[in-house]
Structure 1
Amino acid sequence: MLIILDRDGVINEYDGNYICSADEWHPIPGSIDAVARLCIAGHRIAIATNQSGIGRGYYDTDELDAMHDKMAKLVEAAGGCIDFITYCPHHPDDQCDCRKPMTGLLRQIREHFHLASLAGAIMVGDSRKDLEAADSAGCQPVLVRTGNGQDTERHLDARPIKGVRIFDNLAGFADWVIKAQL
């Protein structure tokens, strides 16, 4: 199965401030192991992340690549593999089609894996934008309570998204996927 992960607040710690360097990028405890366990169980992993810090001039693509290299090396050291990473570098005012909740990043993932659709894929995020993108692209939306997840969960009742599953963190999600043998 294809599992699509948001990055900030799902894999790495995120408090609402921009993460502008590999030195500032720190994994949430248990998240690297969770990604590795999903890989070992036979799942493909893709990352879809909004990175407007590039469009705002806070960091450049070289620094983003360094963050992603750090993440990938940690996952590999734990026995896993990130198959594909895609990101939106645009400022929110740019009105691109790749900034979540738009589905451009998910389309890139679908095309990368040569899939007719993303039906059967799961997308894990911590924000409403992630859940809306997943729903629009035909993925199973999953919310984790890390990052912005608790705040997102509090507001879901006001505007529900059908079929959202909620877990405390990525490790809890991985436990569920592996136990359910999805």
Structure 2
Amino acid sequence: MYQGVFLDRDGVINEVLSKRVKFVNEPGDFHFLPGALEGMRILTEGGFKLFVVTNQGGVGLGYMKNQMLEEIHSHMLKEISAAGGEIVEVSACIHKPHEGCLCRKPGPKMIMDLAKRHSINLKQSYMIGDREVDIEAGRAAGTKTLFIGDNAGMADNYFPSLLNAAEWLVSQKQSDQLF
């Protein structure tokens, strides 16, 4: 069994609701947050299996086509790989908000399906998000939770950026291996 890190996309990996970006509806709208690429490289080098779990209701609402979402994710994965990080798989819920699907966060289905497919030990894994729905999904799946932002809410810990969270996770993993 492997140790995984499940990453929300918008607000953890890339900018949203900034001066440059309101919504990510095409690859040109995708801008990595400061330190995100380095954080994913650090996690990959630290031996974590990385996954992206993201609600993308814009597809279900008709703001973009599923093909465009795939192009956005292809662009994202290429940049992450070039920076030395590796995402094992991206899972996206494309249903409309409030449609009642089982995969949309705060439901844990995306996390649990990925864990099953890739032999991930959820009790030793982490969900990193910037909204309560991310933390709720991680908790429901049985992971530890990290919040990106200045209010941990119900998360186990919080950090200002993915880079800070990655550095802490790798230091924790190294400390655990010493004993």
Q: Taking structure 1 as the reference length, what is the TM-score of the superposition?
A: 0.87
Deviations along 1:115-160, one digit per CA (max 9) or x if unpaired, are 4x51111000000000011111100011001xxxx4xx28x3xxxx
Selected match of 2:126 from 110, 122, 129: 122
2:157 is aligned with 1:165: yes
Per-residue CA shift, 1:14-41, capped at 9, x if unaligned?
1183210100010001101110111011
How far off its partner does 1:53 sit? 0.4
Show the 5 A alignment for 1:129-140.
129-140=133-144
Query: In 1, are the aligned partners of 2:41 and 2:85 still within 8 Å (CA)?
Result: yes
Q: Which residue of 2 aligns with 1:7?
A: 9
CA distance in 2, matches of 1:138, 1:178: 20
Residue 69 (structure 2) aligned to one of 64, 67, 78: 64
After the TM superposition, list the runs of 4 or more consecutive aligned residues in structure 1 that deviate by more than 3 angstroms. none
Amino acid at match of 2:141: A
One-letter code aligned to 2:128: V
Alignment correspondent of 1:87: 92
Q: Does 1:24 align with 2:16?
A: no
Over the matched positions of the two proteins, sequence identity in percent amounts to 30
1:181 aligned partner, one-letter code: K
Unaligned residue ranges in structure 1 (runs of 5+): none
Aligned AA (1:69): S
Figure out how many residues of one structure are paired with residues of the other and give that number: 169
Once residues 132 and 80 of structure 2 are traced to their aligned partners in structure 1, the CA distance between those partners, rounded to angstroms, is 26
Match of 2:82 among 72, 77, 92: 77
Query: How large is the Cα RMSD of the aligned pairs?
Result: 1.6
Per the normalisation by structure 2, the TM-score is 0.89
Contact between 2:23 and 2:29, CA under 8 Å: does it hold in 1? no
